[in-house]
Every structure is written in C-alpha cells, then in structure tokens.
Amino acid sequence: MRRLFRFLFRTPPPAVPTAPNRPPNAGNHYPPVAYPPLTPGQIRFQRFSGVRRGLDPEEVRTFLYRVADEFTEVRTELARTRTENNRIRNALRDSQSRHGRAGRV
C-alpha cells in the first residue's frame, strides 16, 4: 500500500530553468519527456510488485480497467472537442475574411 501511495503521489521533477529571453512561468514547467502521455493499455496492464499483506490483485485490476475505460472516454471527448474547436475557429476566420473585420476598433 505504501508503495502504491508513493507511486501515485510522488513529487514532480524539478522545474526546467527558463531561457534568458523567456519570462518565468511561460508555460513549460517540466521537460516535455517528464510525463509521457498515458495510454489506456498502460493503465490496464500496469503491474505492481507483490507485498505480503498488500492489496487484492483482482480488485486492483478491476479498478485499473475501470480507470482505463474512463480515460479512453475522456480522450475521445477531448479529440472530438478539439475537432469541433478547429471547425469553429476556421468558420470564424472564413466569415471574417469574407465580411471584413467591420465593427472592430
């Protein structure tokens, strides 16, 4: 149990020093490879080391599958939202190009 909590609540890596021409906290707090994106398969097939009086492996596996399924739904929704966002952005640009930017000060 302790190992699981240590794994889940580990401290993030130290912040990356900012370049001299960039203001601090410009959006990149960690190197891009610090946390590669998780996949549902990584969640489903994650293995934990066995301990004498640890958690029930079947309960852990059931929970991980549930998390992976919800994660898949969230990723699908995010992709759909990004597609819709791009469609709206492009429609707005087309409309502004056709009608000019009248009304803007």
Write the single-letter amino acid at 42.
Answer: Q
pLDDT at 64 over 60: yes
| CA contacts within 13 A on the Cβ side of 97 | 6
Find, among 71, 5, 3, the residue nearest to 42 by Cα. 71
DSSP string, 27-61: S--S-TTSSPPP-HHHHHT------TT---HHHHH
pTM over 0.85: no
pLDDT at 15 over 70: no
Write the single-letter amino acid at 105.
Answer: V
